[in-house]
Amino acid sequence: MTTPERPEISQPSPDPGRPEPELPVPLLYRDAMMLVIDKPAGLPSHRGPQAKRRVIPVLTDHLDALRFGLPRRPEAAHRLDKDTSGCLILGRHPRAMAELNQMFRDGTIDKSYWAIVQGSPAAESGLIDLPLAKRAPDRGWWMKVDPDGLPSQTRYRVMGHGQGEAGPLAWLELEPLTGRTHQLRVHCAESGWPMLGDEIYGDAPREGGPGLQLHARSVTVPLYRKKPPIRVEAPPPPHMLAALRACGWSG
């Protein structure tokens, strides 16, 4: 769902006179209801099976440091893959979580991603409409296109073109209209332009690759009925800068 009027990009509102504590993850926005953090690539949101087998940090290890005086720690209102960076919304208390969860169910929260893909779409914009299902019971979260799977739709827009070591690249803006696991990665790969650095659905090596080139660029949240929607942007991560600049990004 697209917001009719583009809201102003929101920033955190620190308390004057009180220094902000050093935070374990970058904070992009804070109010009484929610936080938006810039999740680093490589940081799992939860301690899943792989994280349990190894002693590695996960986002939930850091949530107590994001209470900002409240008795409860915040909780993630949605998920980002371990290797995806960018905007992640946290609810600060149960009422906030209930409202955020309902907005996600209703599809009123807009999310926009940046991706660098190998190759390029034939059209400068379009809709990918491919149903998805789990690839196999023993493959965890890995997904595949399946006519009997769940409906899955992604809008895309080409933002720029470039050249990489392995051939042509394209910088895409992606808007998921549904929220399936690995949706953007599978949709791009099945369309013929896998994401750069994707070791599951592309041809990236498991060691020494460029890192997954997928970034949750912005979220737009209509959290307050009598105020404009809150729009928050996350700067692109360091491992995507070279490819973005090759594709014409000048930030």
Q: Are 74 and 91 in contact (CB under 8 A)?
A: yes
> Does residue 38 have an active-site annotation?
no
Nearest in space to 193 (alpha carbons), one of 227, 219, 168: 168
Q: Which sign does the torsion angle of CA 157, 160, 163, 165 carry?
A: negative
Q: State in Å, rounded, how far the first CA of the chain is from the last one.
A: 27
Determine how many CB atoms are found less than 10 A away from the CB of residue 71.
Answer: 6
Task: Give which of 201, 197, 195 is closest to 210, Cα–Cα.
Answer: 197
Q: Give 55's Cβ-side CA count (13 Å radius).
A: 0
At CA 239, angle to CA 67 and CA 145, rounded to 5? 85
What is the C-alpha separation between 85 and 146, in angstroms, rounded?
27
Contacts of 55 (CB under 8 A, 6+ apart): none
Check 38, 81, 83, 110 and give the catalytic one: 81
Q: Are residues 107 and 170 in contact, defined by beta-carbon separation less than 8 angstroms?
A: no
Catalytic positions, written as ranges: 81
